[in-house]
Structure 1
Amino acid sequence: MTLFDQVSQGIIEAMKAREKERLDALRNLKKSMLEARAAKGAGSELTDEESLRLISKLVKQGRDSAEIYKGQNRIDLYEQEMGQVKILEAFLPRQLTGEELTAVVKSIIAREGASSLREMGRIIGIATRELAGKAETREIAEKVKILLS
């Protein structure tokens, strides 16, 4: 079952259980997936990898919005946004811890034979593809920079 199918099934379950917050989050996700699919072209489906990238992007946007709401002392909107983020995170693979990320990045650096900051961009690109959905690009870039310097 693809991620798109899982989201569609989740919408049906949320409607039956009358879970408004979950239903809203899943409908927004499905809308974003349909828009991304339409942008790819007629008749093309989103791969699970593309769906994971989209969900990661939506989670990041949700967290950013929540922080803005918190800064403006809008706790009601902050809690609503964080609730939707938690629902979306359920579709993402488990995020790597700092130690796990360091170990994976070290192995990529060793495998590729990188030794200087000049190769940072190439290593970040490889690591981002290999760790899609498991770590944010920003965190990967920080680890690569630390390990190469």
Structure 2
Amino acid sequence: MSLQSKVMEQMKIAMKAKDTVALESLRAIKSALLLESTSGSGKELTEEDEIKLVQKLVKQRKDSAAIFMEQGRQDLADPELAQVTVIEQFLPEQLTEEEVEKVVVQTIDTTGASGMKDMGKVMGIVSKELAGQADGKMISAIVKQKLNS
């Protein structure tokens, strides 16, 4: 089942339940998918493209919530965070920090990375391997930590 059909199915459920937060979140996903598919590139969206799109939506909402919290506007941050939980259900299961750390250590060992100069190489491999399963910020922090030690 494609992401578009999963979103449509969830939208029907949200409409029947009168869940406005879920409905707003699902419409955002549907809108982003529609925009991407009609962008004129002529290519079909792959599952990887769909995951990247959903990750982008989650990141946007988390960033907005962080800004609102910095400004002391919890009333605006809460809806953003509620949307994050709805949108994240369309991502693959997220890995824990320990699981990401194992992959990073394994990649460093196999590539022979020895310092910060190899960060780009390690980040590229790990990011590709964990696509959609871990946040880029977390991967970056772990890679930096492991390469500096």
Q: Identify whether the pair has TM-score above 0.5, normalized to the shorter chain.
A: yes
Cα distance in 2 for partners of 1:10, 1:137 equals 27
Map 1:5-24 → 2, pairs under 5 A? 5-24=5-24
Cα distance in 1 for partners of 2:61, 2:130 equals 21
Aligned residue in 1 for 2:126 = 127
Cα distance in 2 for partners of 1:146, 1:73 equals 31
Cα distance in 2 for partners of 1:81, 1:52 equals 19
Q: TM-score, normalised by structure 1?
A: 0.90
Specify every segment of 5 or more residues in structure 1 that has no aligned partner in the other structure, as ranges: none
Specify every segment of 5 or more residues in structure 2 that has no aligned partner in the other structure, as ranges: none
Aligned residue in 1 for 2:108 = 109
| SS of residue paired to 2:98 | helix
| SS of residue paired to 1:39 | coil
Letter of the 1:35 partner, please give it. L
Map 1:56-95 → 2, pairs under 5 A? 56-95=55-94
- RMSD over aligned CA atoms reads 1.5
User: Which has the higher mean CA deviation after the structures are superposed, 9-18 or 119-128?
Assistant: 9-18
Letter of the 1:36 partner, please give it. E
Per-residue deviation, 1:40: 5.7
* Identity fraction in percent: 41
| Number of aligned positions between the proteins | 148
